[in-house]
Amino acid sequence: MLKNEVNFAPDAVDKRLVNPLPMNRADSWFSISMDLVRFCLAVTVLVCHIPALQGGFPGWLAHSCVIVFFVISGYFISQSVFTKKMGFRAYAIARLSRLYSVLAPALVLTGILLTVGTMINPPFYAALSRGHEPLRLLLSLVFGQETWFLSASPTSNGPLWSLAFEFWYYALFAGFFFARGLRAKLTVSLLAAAVAGPKILLLLPTWLAGVACCASARRRVPTRQVSRISFAIFAALIICLESAKFEYPFPEGTFPLFHSGSFVSDWMLSLLVAATIYFLHGAVPSSQAPAGLADVARRAGNATFAIYLLHYPLQKFIIATLLPRLPELGHPWMDAICVLPPLLIAGACGLLFESSRPRIAAALDSLLPGTSDRTDSDKRKAA
């Protein structure tokens, strides 16, 4: 019966897909490179949201950064599953603890800054708002703000849209990977897809490009010379594609697809990024990196999620409350105020939130039904 087939027991992992090789070490040059890339992507998104620069600075680049984040996410999520032999329960705890360790405080901060900012500068937030802000925050808490043809992320924290996409990619991957039997895999995946809706599904190939990259890299990586030449070629192709500002079939933000409007060009970008990451494995040195550099890169990578989720409401609050009191400042100083304080505050919060993940994982471990299939290492730190 279907009830018996949809089984998420720890041994539901498809052992044919589990690669016995260890994950990339945290002190490997590849891991350091990826941590620094993630940090640079988050900072790029932050800079793209500076109002003074949006006329000349490529603000559309922020969407491309999110597509690259999707590829990287698919890579690392699949890597953790392929190598740790975790079951569905451990996977769910790891993913939810990762999301809510930053999402929950981000929503609280967004609500506080919105309330206080509205009291200080009502016209600014009135012009920014599309109404129903409490409902938007609630929908974001359960990753429902972008399902089907909704576009209901809080207007004072627009980047939250991608979290809904990310959550449903986790769910779709789990349904197909952990459920036993083809019928069960298809049933669970189709149910998740039916809830997520077409907008989210249109960008699913960008996430799956990261999964395919991980699977390919764990089987075989070309020689260093081939990898370095190929890496340079694909990196150059990415620059060319972004320089052309190619958005197909519709510009990003077009109704009713909104953030999925340019899904074809996003697919193209994701394939180029996945290929670049694949060849990066062989392009970087295989030796161990200095411990100090690895630690700095790891901390920068850990702060990335918080920088992405917190910078926007911080920027809006600064623009609404601080900049009007400093009219004598020129644009360079205003831009710096919109970059440095949000970056420093969000980065510090990111390191703080990262330390809370084990406690959130432990709480989820005690709340979720079933027998724990997490290893001792997982209990100390969520995957």
Q: Give the model confidence (pLDDT) of 215-270 as tens digits.
A: 999 888 888 999 999 999 999 999 999 988 889 999 988 999 999 999 999 999 99
Largest CA distance in the chain: 72
More confident position, 371 or 360: 360
Tokens of 20: 């016995």
- pLDDT (average), residues 21-45: 83
pLDDT at 271: 97
- Express each pLDDT in 104-156 by its tens digit: 999 999 999 999 999 999 999 999 888 899 999 999 999 999 999 999 999 99
Report residue 290 as tokens. 């200095």
Flag whether pLDDT at 17 surpasses 50: no
Distance CA 178, CA 8 (A): 6
Paired tokens of 236: 């150059």
88-98 per-position pLDDT tens digit? 899 999 999 99
First to last CA, the chain: 33
**Domain count across the chain:** 1
Distance CA 360, CA 353 (A): 10
CA atoms of 40 and 360, how far apart (whole Å): 27
164, 50 contact by CB (below 8 A): no
Q: Alpha-carbon distance 21 to 35, whole Å? A: 21
Tokens of 315: 């920027």
**How far is C-alpha 372 from the geometric centre of its chain's CA atoms?**
27
Instruction: Specify the amino acid at residue 181.
Output: G
> Per-residue pLDDT for 358 more than 80?
yes
Nearest-CA neighbor of 77 among 92, 62, 63?
92
Q: Among 39-43, 46-50, 141-145, 211-215, name the one with the lowest average pLDDT.
A: 46-50
Report the distance separating Cα 296 and Cα 120, nearest Å: 38
How many residues in the chain? 383
**Given this model, what pLDDT does residue 373 score?**
52
Which range of residues forms the domain containing residue 11? 2-380
What is the band of 27 on the pLDDT scale with cuts at 50, 70, 90?
low
Query: How far is it, in rounded angstroms, from Cα 211 to Cα 217?
Result: 10
Reduced to 3 states (helix: H, G, I; strand: E, B; else coil), residue 28 is strand
d(CA 278, CA 370) in angstroms, rounded, equals: 37
Verify cis geometry, omega within 30 degrees of 0, for the bond prior to 205.
no
Which of the pair, 59 or 219, is modelled with greater confidence?
219
pLDDT at 64 over 60: yes
Residue 9 has pLDDT above 70, yes or no: no
Q: Can you tell me the distance from the alpha carbon of 348 to that of 208, in angstroms, rounded to the nearest whole number? A: 31
Say what the pLDDT of residue 41 is: 96
pLDDT of residue 382: 46
d(CA 69, CA 92): 20
Structure confidence at residue 371 (pLDDT): 60
Q: Which of 15-19, 47-51, 228-232, 298-302 has the lowest mean pLDDT?
A: 15-19
What pLDDT, on the 0 to 100 scale, is given for residue 50? 84
Identity of the amino acid at 236:
A
Three-class SS state of 35: helix
Q: What is the pLDDT of residue 324?
A: 81
Each residue's pLDDT tens digit, 178-195? 888 888 889 999 999 999
C-alpha to C-alpha distance for 161 and 215, rounded to whole angstroms: 28
Q: Is the pLDDT of residue 26 over 70?
A: no
Q: What is the average per-residue pLDDT within 146-170?
A: 94
Tens-digit pLDDT profile for residues 311-350? 999 999 999 998 888 777 767 788 888 899 999 999 999 8
Query: Is 101 a residue whose pLDDT tops 50?
Result: yes
Return the pLDDT at 20.
36
In whole angstroms, what is the distance from residue 138 CA to residue 116 CA? Answer: 19
- The residue written with tokens 């993940």 in the block is 357
Q: What is the pLDDT of residue 87?
A: 86
Hey, what are 6's tokens? 């949809």
Lowest mean pLDDT among 65-79, 200-214, 350-364: 350-364
Average confidence score pLDDT of the chain: 86
